[in-house]
Amino acid sequence: MTRSRAAVFLDRDGVLVRDHGPLVRLQDAEIPDDVPVALARLRRAGYVLVGVSNQTVVARGLLTEDEARALQDRIDDTIVLRGGVPLDAFYLCPHHPEADVAAYRGACDCRKPAPGMLLRATAELSLDLRRSIMIGDRPSDVAAGRAAGCRTVWLHSGRHDDPPIRSATPIPQARPDHVCTTLTEVAQWLGA
């Protein structure tokens, strides 16, 4: 029988890379200096590293789902080259309530603030949500983590005060368990 493991769920844009708007090219992915080492510390502490990201670039037709996943693979490669570790898994939501691509328009259970990506990862990777942490830079990330039953961290990385993302349902107000400005601070808070 497989024991459930604790995960660190990581939003991509605003946590793993600086959020400068829709990311469609690797050369535009600015990885904060502390991210590679912080990810390695979290992995050494025993956490499964899982990316969970709303990818409106797919809903807008700027990338296909496969291209968005390939871009994440290249971001992982860059993190490894800089002394970090790759994510263990990456989940993306291609949906948006006002998508340009009709197939992705409408409500879903995976677009944060919904917890669908976290719940899917939990089932597929044998994770323990009560011991897991969701790290994101938006209230929708905190709400998704809370809805899934995780502890949450609100990373104030620059776009945290932007207007809320568009959601098919209202984004619940959820208090994070911790607030900080870097992934290194999260690792320290977790004792990693």
Here the CATH number for the domain that contains residue 35 is 3.40.50.1000
Residue 15 lies in a domain: yes
Per residue of the chain (192 residues), what is the pLDDT tens digit? 456 899 999 999 999 999 998 999 999 999 999 999 999 999 999 999 999 999 999 999 999 999 999 999 999 999 999 999 999 999 999 999 999 999 999 889 999 999 999 999 999 999 999 999 999 999 999 999 999 999 999 999 876 566 555 666 666 677 999 999 999 999 999 988
Q: What is the pTM of this model?
A: 0.93
Q: At what angle do helices 35-44 and 65-81 cross, to 10 degrees?
A: 90
DSSP-assigned beta bridge partners for residue 178: 153
Residue 2 lies in a domain: no
> What is the per-residue pLDDT for 158?
72
3-state secondary structure of 51: strand
Distance in angstroms (rounded) separating the CA atoms of residues 70 and 119:
23
Long-range pairs for 169-174: beta carbons < 8 A, 24 or more residues apart: 169/107, 169/113, 169/114, 171/113, 171/139, 171/140, 171/143, 172/113, 172/143, 172/146, 172/147, 173/139, 173/143, 174/139, 174/142, 174/143, 174/145, 174/146
**Enclosing domain of residue 54:** 7-189
Distance in angstroms (rounded) separating the CA atoms of residues 29 and 134:
21
Residue 37 lies in a domain: yes
* CB-based contact 167:97 (threshold 8 Å): yes
Tokens 């719940």 -> residue: 119
Residue 1 lies in a domain: no
As for how many domains the chain has, the answer is: 1
List Cβ neighbours of 190 (8 Å cut-off, separation of 6 or more): 8, 42, 45, 47, 133
Tokens read off for 93:
């939501």
